[in-house]
Structure 1
């Protein structure tokens, strides 16, 4: 189905990509700077490399990146993100995200995250899901001052369906730009209050279970 849709849209997509292949950078309001933002196709894999500098402490960056139940609150393409299992430094997270380019494409994936707080690293890999392969690492490093961090993101993904590389690159470039901007804004935002009586559950229709008042 996706292959037929891509074939139908190829002329239109080509005209968009030819006329505007730029990727937006973070706005001044985000108070962050993009140091690197690259998307390449290598032997069928989508290779992503990104790095930003943000005016927050390491602890705040780690808190945001590991708030897996809250990712769908600020990431524009994330429909749901639910922790289904966890230990002290490991999480299994069920995610649904939709990327939009003329038509919406929805992906479901279950990821295993392994945290290494001492080194500021968060590794992940897909356990099951819509993608053929998906692995990567977030790395948080101190910046030039105690109130500044460098966040490095590297990932490799491979689709199950054959999609032309130039289309994949275009989609992922814009997806990455949106993610970096949303992350930058969340890092400097006030922490969101926890809603009482509302608990996320993977088995509910909308990902939420609302408990009855006592």
Structure 2
């Protein structure tokens, strides 16, 4: 058997267990209000091979300046984003923004940890892009996009997109489903953090 055939066989074995793993962990799922979940739209875009691109959006009833403040407080992200264990600034060789983030998950009934080092590019009050320069995936990138919406009150549209290419030994189907489950939780966590911030800045 060639290495490629062995890798494909291993991937098939892992993905066959994906549904069983999610079902086994359902008792540990985060319990949140279904009405809040309905505020978040999640979708998957066309991908190639093992690459996965997922997006989500939510409307936040506060000005974009507050949303921006929350998203760019990089070392505080792990304080409120579910399953993000650490988020810390690293020295960037050309003076930009570089983050090391470590996420923790429970996959196939095992605790799974993934580390990424991301370079960040900011477009003030519009977009925060990130690109992996080192980490536990073959590729990992995405962006946060902000837009001021027409409304009777301040309203910010927040979109999040992530593109991920797992390594061959990672069960891509399970990772995709886990991301789909976590995206609404992450956006709702941002909403709640903005609410907390605004309550302290009347």
**Superposition TM-score, scaled by structure 2 size:** 0.76
User: Which structure shows the higher helix fraction?
Assistant: 2
- Per-residue deviation, 1:185: 1.3
- What is the alpha-carbon distance in structure 1 between the residues aligned to residue 37 and residue 15 of structure 2? 37
Matched, 1:168 2:178: no
Q: Which residue of 2 aligns with 1:104?
A: 111
How far apart are the structure 2 equivalents of 1:132 and 1:64?
28
Unmatched 5+ stretches in structure 1: 194-214
How far apart, in 2, do the equivalents of 1:48 and 1:98 lie?
A: 19
The whole-number CA distance in structure 2 between the counterparts of 1:125 and 1:139 is 15
Q: Is the alpha carbon distance of 1:69 and 1:48 closer, same or farther for their aligned partners in structure 2, counting shifts above 3 Å?
A: same
In structure 2, relative to structure 1, the CA distance for the partners of 1:19 and 1:130 (3 Å cut) is: closer
Residue 45 (structure 1) aligned with residue 51 (structure 2)? yes
Q: What is the aligned-residue RMSD (CA, Å)?
A: 3.7
Give 1:66's aligned residue. Answer: 72
Given candidates 118, 122, 126, the residue that maps to 2:128 is: 122
The answer to whether the 8 A contact 1:112-1:124 is kept is yes
1:182 aligned residue: 189
> Structure 1 residue 7: deviation in Å?
4.0
Contact 1:122/1:138 (<8 A) preserved: yes
* CA displacement 1:73-101 (0-9 Å, x = unmatched): 001211110011369x9410111111223
Helix, strand or coil at the partner of 1:144? coil
Q: Taking structure 1 as reference, are residues 147 and 25 closer, same or farther at Cα in structure 2, changes over 3 Å only?
A: farther
Equivalent pairs counted in the alignment come to 186
Q: Which of these residues, 127, 132, 142, is aligned with residue 136 of structure 1?
A: 142
Q: Which residue of 2 aligns with 1:206?
A: none
For the residue of structure 2 that corresponds to 1:184, the secondary structure is helix
Shift of 1:5: 10
Contact in 1 for aligned 2:122/2:128 (Cα 8 Å): yes
Change (3 A) 1:97 1:29: same
Give TM-score, length-normalised by structure 1: 0.72
